[in-house]
Amino acid sequence: MSWRTSRRDFLSRVALAGSALSVAPLRYLLRPESAWAVIAPGNCPSGSRCADGWTEFCCAINHGRNTCPSWSYMGGWWKCTYYPGSKLCGEQNVRYYVDCNVKPGHHAPGGCHCAKGTCGKRRVACNVFRYGQCNTQVPGTTAVGCRVVTCTNPAEIPTFNCNRTYMKENAVCRQEAGCLDKEHVRVLGKNPAA
């Protein structure tokens, strides 16, 4: 029985390494990354979070912090006009999502991939897009690394450097992450010095 388990584990590892080699052969062979770290969203089955087209929340990839990682900047925002959940912003019933775009000339660690190397998490640095209401002094459009959630309009938070141009996307209103539990995440805009 133990022989079959270890044989199955071995075959799983070989299949995973083979997938990584076929998707990103040089990156897999030349960089000290696990095979899961180079599996792209296109390798995930339809219906999985990583294949749904949306970008992961920053707190899921930034050590629980609901902020942009150091390799990114706030590039734009949009509003979810009816948030029905009980996590961050549940009391307000609205959420604002801020895209953290990759800084020009920088790269997100691991490039375009599924967060935490699993199809059960959303994409990181795959969607090249910019709403453009924040940090307008930064030129160009780069990949969205992750998303920050705030209960306050980003245009009202001076440190975000965003204007009031309004965008709305209610398709994200039901999207969640365990790290957006209101007991564990500072509500941005309420305490900007924290």
Give, in order, the Cα–Cα distances in Å from 177 to each of 56, 60, 184, 185: 9, 7, 12, 11
My answer on whether 2 and 87 are in the same domain is no
- For residues 108 and 161, give the distance between their C-alpha atoms in angstroms, rounded to a whole number: 22
Structure tokens at 15: 């299949």
Pick from 25, 29, 181, 52: which is nearest to 127 by CA?
Answer: 52
pLDDT bucket at 188, cuts 50 / 70 / 90: low
Mean per-residue pLDDT, 132-140 = 97
* Residue 180 pLDDT greater than 80, yes or no: yes
My answer on whether 70 and 112 are in the same domain is yes
Confirm whether 44 is domain-assigned: no
My answer on whether 164 and 118 are in the same domain is yes
Pick from 125, 109, 108, 107: which is nearest to 31 by CA?
Answer: 109
0.85 exceeded by the pTM?
no
The model's pLDDT over 49-108, given as tens digits with 9 standing for 90+, comes to 999 999 999 999 999 999 999 999 999 999 999 999 989 999 889 999 999 999 999 999
My answer on whether 95 and 2 are in the same domain is no
Name the residue range of residue 22's domain: 1-38
**Partners of 51 in beta bridges:** none
My answer on whether 15 and 66 are in the same domain is no
Pick from 66, 82, 85: which is nearest to 74 by CA?
Answer: 66
Confirm whether 190 is domain-assigned: no
My answer on whether 1 and 88 are in the same domain is no
DSSP 19-84: HHHHHSHHHHHHSS--GGGG--GGGSPTTSGGGSSPBPBHHHHTTT-SS--TTEEEEEEEEES---
My answer on whether 116 and 81 are in the same domain is yes
Question: Which pLDDT score is estimated for 104?
Answer: 97
My answer on whether 89 and 33 are in the same domain is no
* Residue 189 pLDDT greater than 80, yes or no: no
My answer on whether 90 and 161 are in the same domain is yes
My answer on whether 19 and 59 are in the same domain is no
Whether the CA torsion 103, 106, 111, 112 is positive or negative: it is positive
The mean of the pLDDT values for the chain is: 82
* Residue 10 pLDDT greater than 50, yes or no: no
CA 20 to chain centre: 21
My answer on whether 129 and 76 are in the same domain is yes
Pick from 57, 59, 58: which is nearest to 183 by CA?
Answer: 59
Comparison of pLDDT for 140 and 10, the residue scoring more = 140
The label of the residue with tokens 């453009």 reads 132
